Amino acid sequence: MKKVISVLLLIAMLFTMAACGGNEGTKEDELKVGFIFLHDENSTYDKNFMDAAKAACEAMGVTYLQKANIPETNECYEAAIELVEEGCGIIFADSFGHEAHILKAAKENPEVQFCHATGTTAHTEEVANFHNAFASIYEGRYLAGVTAGLKLNEMIEAGKITADKAKMGYVGAFTYAEVISGYTSFYLGAKSVCPSVTMDVQFTGSWYDEQLEKEAANALINKGCVLISQHADSMGAPTACENAGIPNVSYNGSTAAACPETFLISSRINWEPYYKYIIECVQNDKAIDVDWTGTLETGSVELSDLGKNVAAGTADKLAEIEKGLKDGTVKVFDTAAFTVSGDAITANVKVDAEGHVTSYMADVDTDAAYTGDTEAIKDGAFAESSDRSAPYFDLAIDGITRLNSKF
Amino acid sequence: MSNAVKKHHEPLIHITKRDDMIWWKAWLIRLAAVLLGLLVVGVISVLLTKGNFFETYSIMLRGAFGRLGSGSTRLLWKFLLETALLLCLSLALTPAFKMKFWNCGAEGQALIGGLAAAIVMMKLGDKLPYWVVILLIFAAGILAGAVWGIVPALFKAQYKTNETLFTLMMNYIAMQLVAYYAYVNAVPAGSGQIQSIANGHLPVIGGQPYLLTILLALILTGVMLVYLKYSKHGYEISVVGESQNTARYIGINVKKVIIRTMMISGALCGLAGCLMVAGIDHSVNPDTVGGLGFTAIMVAWLGQLNPLIIVLMSGLIVFLESGAAKVADTFYLNGSYADIVAGIVILFVVGCEFFIRYSIKFRHKEGKA
């Protein structure tokens, strides 16, 4: 009987204590911003968002709330509503597949601002409190490509390779506009300084798979690629390059510590400027842009420090081109810089006699039939991210060979 | 006494099998185990978060059921929904486990059911009358799940293949098929995501979108209880599970029972997949079932293959996971925290069965005997 009583007492104690305990110390009038992440800080993708979010909230003096490990299902909607109930004025989600669920929450809570990275539907849904955001990361990749091109030139001058052997390899995730836009801008950056460059692209069919990415990088090296870059986030490709002594252009942060001999440069999106922007908008009752594209100018596109083995004069050249990108004299997708031929000339593409694109109807207002709805060629260049923040450059240009495709 | 008595060595601890313990005593021990587990969770949480000991529990309760006195019943509904889905899958596994057929394929059976539902929603949703679509969704989902259950059962019955490996591998086939379907139908092209499907949503009862699923899970619990305990099928399942030779001797067609039971197991998983896709998510991706099919294996065993205990265990696991996720978010811990919490409590729950089945006696001190 004694046992029974002690057990009952224990239950009573736990629950009364639990019911009394815990009132968080946040002020009620302070703006709260809630963040929804696909994974936790063990994923480099989410960590990039998480670090920026914490820094922005601290800098702006607002309360940071998070929901991590939220899959792209109804759980995302529930997480958003929970953040609304916690009193958040802004809710942000970081993964593409969160969009439909965030949109549903936005429609039900018009007084709260919902912001979604990488999404594509804000400009067609026209829900006043639902917004998309991305960054002109293609500019960062272009600059990374220039770094790669200069390295190739150095190899040619040193007699290590001949100009026609200047072939780069690229490990992509999916055959998706964001990836295509990324590797094409990287290639065009290299081509702007090393005209003979070509590139092979190997897709893995996964956003994060260390083994697959390593194998893809090794396969590219075996096919004669003398420089490798990648879209996916794992250390697979950089590690393969370090082992083989092949220069590598990284993504989403410097890999110099792990790959000191082969690391050249890395580009990434810094989300802190966007977070500061949306917090400022809500604090001052201003409307948030339906589609917001961060740039080099806003500090959203960042390049890492250069690796120790970059070609001489790289820093100066990068500064010069960065200036050109900022003032508009250099355009990444200048139609004069690339040609399209053969099967790549689809019904949506029009080219002149030399193969330069004169018109391209891009699928900006996404639909199930992938209808080309928006003219993307403006003022002699492909106007990436101008009609929607998420990239939509998906042309297959000459000089780049897709070894496979993964949808 | 006299020195002539030979001293024999008695071990310090003496373990004997207990006769049946009175039910309420056994349940008190189980309750105590859960509370002790939670106590350890509290201590570990304080070490990890340097927060208040009792705050951990208050955050857990709030994360699972909502803020006390806030008047919001949303989290309560969410708790019931998640419990209902886990319950459906655990109940689906129960007859197979009772037959000692280790069906580790609930994840894939539910996912393929969800995929079938999604295909009906997308391809026929706007072409046929609403109720026909709804019936087709259930028919397709249940059929797909049943097929995913029958295939390993056929191989087990005919060729004695290992069903654990077989059902596990069927999970990956289902995931890849869903991934493939999602990529083919992705919007925008190449993104691999099907956005919300507009047609063929299951009806909403009484303005509560989760109520239908919860009610179906409750009905399923009752049906499964009767099926296992009182039907001829249920009896055959227990006999096959105890001894296939006995089953053969008394004239039970063992192959037939294996295949029929796995068909039911897979069909019920497929039903759960339908509810997830047509009732809740209105879309499908490889994450739709989200590992619930694996959690269900554990829940079915924790519930001792008894539908009523499985209800309690489903609730306990959902409470632990949603509560721990809230603690993790509050103190910026990562996803492993929820696993640690659930692991500790489950260890206590499993461990306490030992004390229910065996009694431990310590050696009595000399002279006091």
B73 interfacial to chain A (CB closer than 8 Å)? no
Domain boundary among A261, A279, A294: A294
> What is the domain range of residue B173?
83-301
- Whether residue A27 lies inside any domain: the answer is no
- Whether residue B247 lies inside any domain: the answer is yes
Q: Count the Cβ atoms, other than its own, within 10 Å of residue B123.
A: 12
- Whether residue B153 lies inside any domain: the answer is yes
How many domains would you assign to chain A?
A: 2
User: The CATH number of the domain where A325 resides is what?
Assistant: 3.40.50.2300
Q: Which candidate in A50, A63, A78, A209 is best for mutational testing of the B interface (most B CBs within 10 A)?
A: A78
- Whether residue A242 lies inside any domain: the answer is yes
What integer pLDDT is reported at residue B5 of this predicted model? 59
DSSP A266-310: EEEE--HHHHHHHHHHHHTTPPPPSEEEE-TTTT-EEE-PPPTTS
A27 token code pair = 């002020």
Q: Are A296 and A322 in contact (CB under 8 A)?
A: yes
Quick: pLDDT tens for A175-210: 999 999 999 999 999 999 999 999 999 999 888 888
Query: pLDDT per position in chain B (369 positions), as tens?
Result: 455 556 677 788 888 888 778 889 889 999 999 999 999 999 999 998 887 888 999 999 999 998 777 778 899 999 999 999 999 999 999 999 999 999 999 999 999 999 999 999 999 999 999 999 999 999 999 999 999 999 999 999 999 999 999 999 999 999 999 999 998 998 888 888 888 899 999 999 999 999 999 999 999 999 999 999 999 999 999 999 999 999 999 999 999 999 999 999 999 999 999 999 999 999 999 999 999 999 999 999 999 999 999 999 999 999 999 999 999 999 988 889 999 999 999 999 999 988 888 888 887 765 444
- Whether residue B297 lies inside any domain: the answer is yes
* pLDDT of A8 strictly over 60: no
What integer pLDDT is reported at residue A22 of this predicted model? 41
Return phi, psi of residue A355, to 5°: 95, 5
DSSP bridge pairs for A203 = A172
Are A157 and A230 part of one and the same domain? yes
How many domains would you assign to chain B?
A: 1
List CB contacts of B93: < 8 A, sequence separation 6 or more.
B103, B106, B265, B269, B296, B297, B300
Per the CB < 8 Å rule, is B332 touching A66?
Answer: yes
- Whether residue B325 lies inside any domain: the answer is no
Q: Mean pLDDT score of chain A, rounded to an integer?
A: 91
B146 token code pair = 């049943």
Quick: pLDDT tens for A23-82: 444 445 689 999 999 998 888 889 999 999 999 999 999 999 999 999 999 999 999 999
Q: What span, in angstroms and rounded, lies between the C-alpha atoms of B193 and A407?
A: 10
Per the CB < 8 Å rule, is B329 touching A65?
Answer: yes
B35 token code pair = 């509370």
**DSSP symbol at A357:** E
- Whether residue A25 lies inside any domain: the answer is no
Are A156 and A206 part of one and the same domain? yes
What integer pLDDT is reported at residue B52 of this predicted model? 84
Instruction: Characterize A151-187 residue by residue with b for buried, 16 or more Cβ atoms within 10 angstroms of its Cβ, and e for exposed.
Output: bbbbbbeeeeeeeeebbbbbbbbbbbbbbbbbbbbbb
Q: What is the mean pLDDT of residues A256-271?
A: 94
- Whether residue B229 lies inside any domain: the answer is yes
Which residues, numbered 16 to 45 in chain B, qualify as contacts with chain A under a Cβ-Cβ cut-off of 8 Å? Answer: 28, 31-32, 35, 38-39
Are A252 and A182 part of one and the same domain? yes
Are A169 and A249 part of one and the same domain? yes
Q: Are B287 and A71 in contact (CB under 8 A)?
A: yes
SS3 A133: strand
- Whether residue B343 lies inside any domain: the answer is no
What integer pLDDT is reported at residue A23 of this predicted model? 43
Q: Are A103 and A121 in contact (CB under 8 A)?
A: yes
Domain boundary among A239, A259, A294: A294
Closest Cα in chain A, distance from residue B140 (Å): 21
Are A41 and A145 part of one and the same domain? no
Are A327 and A360 part of one and the same domain? yes
Q: Which candidate in A75, A107, A118 is best for mutational testing of the B interface (most B CBs within 10 A)?
A: A75
User: CA A332 from chain center: how many Å?
Assistant: 17
Domain boundary among A294, A327, A345: A294
Are A331 and A232 part of one and the same domain? yes
Q: What angle (nearest 5°) sits at the alpha carbon of residue A327, between those of residues A323 and A328? A: 110
Q: Which of A144, A155, A38 is nearest to A97 (CA)?
A: A38
Are A324 and A337 part of one and the same domain? yes
- Whether residue A232 lies inside any domain: the answer is yes
- Whether residue B21 lies inside any domain: the answer is no
Q: Which of B118, B274, B130, B137 is nearest to B186 (CA)?
A: B118
**CA-based nearest residue in chain B for residue A73:** B281
Please report the ipTM that was assigned to this predicted complex.
Answer: 0.87
A274 token code pair = 């966007």
Q: Are A208 and A184 in contact (CB under 8 A)?
A: no
- Whether residue A129 lies inside any domain: the answer is yes
- Whether residue A67 lies inside any domain: the answer is yes
Are A219 and A343 part of one and the same domain? yes
Are A376 and A361 part of one and the same domain? yes
Are A94 and A117 part of one and the same domain? yes
List CB contacts of B65: < 8 A, sequence separation 6 or more.
B75, B76, B79
Are A393 and A283 part of one and the same domain? no
HSE toward the beta carbon, residue B125, CA cutoff 13 A:
18
> What is the domain range of residue A75?
32-136+271-294
SS3 A174: coil
Per the CB < 8 Å rule, is B281 touching A73?
Answer: yes
Of all residues in chain A, the percent with pLDDT exceeding 70 is 93
Per the CB < 8 Å rule, is A368 touching B55?
Answer: no
What integer pLDDT is reported at residue A20 of this predicted model? 45
Q: What is the mean pLDDT of residues A330-356?
A: 94
- Whether residue B326 lies inside any domain: the answer is no
Q: In what helix (H) or strand (E) does residue B26 lie, and over which residues does it extend?
A: helix B23-49
* pLDDT of A19 strictly over 50: no
- Whether residue A6 lies inside any domain: the answer is no
